[in-house]
Amino acid sequence: MVVRRKVGRETFEVVRTHVVDVTELAEELRAEGRDKYTYGAPALLVFHADPREVAAENNAHIVATYAMLAAHALGLGATWMDLITPVVNREPRAAEVLGLPRGNVAYASLIVGHPQIRYRRAIDRSLKGVAYV
């Protein structure tokens, strides 16, 4: 109840139904060859920092945003993966496997790869009501 009040109902439900699932079933998923968290993406980027640094979380989110924009500019697909960071922060072995320095906190993560679907045209969006002066 305390955790739910601190993080909110939505975040609590995600952690309860997904993060615990990952930590408990990681071996089973790997044995079956299933990857329901990174969807087989060839790259996982984890943005982390020493939490004692000024604006560590904000800076990690800014860098992750620019990394996503850069990936798209290179023709790659990139997706924010909020389910990865709680696992990295809760499981010391996960942080060790990813090479995070001891004491650093993961604030954001992206999966990057070649998109399966390429769209030929974007949706036509008119900028009604926008005035340039």
pLDDT confidence band for 82 (50 / 70 / 90): confident
122 occurs within a structural domain: no
Report whether 93 contacts 117 (CB < 8 A): no
Residue 40 is predicted with a pLDDT of: 76
Rg of the chain, C-alpha, whole Å: 18
Residue 24 pLDDT > 60: no
Domain total for the chain? Answer: 1
Residue 12: which CATH number?
A: 3.40.109.10
Domain membership flag for residue 126: no
In a domain? residue 28: yes
Domain that holds residue 28: 2-113
Q: What is the token pair recorded at 47?
A: 């943005």
Flag whether 55 is in a domain. Answer: yes
Q: Give percent above pLDDT 70 in the chain.
A: 72
Q: What is the mean pLDDT of residues 61-90?
A: 91
Contact predicate 72/108, CB 8 Å: no
Whether residue 89 lies inside any domain: the answer is: yes
pLDDT: is 66 or 130 the higher one?
66
Among 4-8, 17-21, 93-97, 109-113, where is mean pLDDT lowest?
17-21
36 in any annotated domain: yes
Q: What is the pLDDT of residue 25?
A: 45
pTM over 0.85: no
Arithmetic mean of pLDDT over the chain: 80
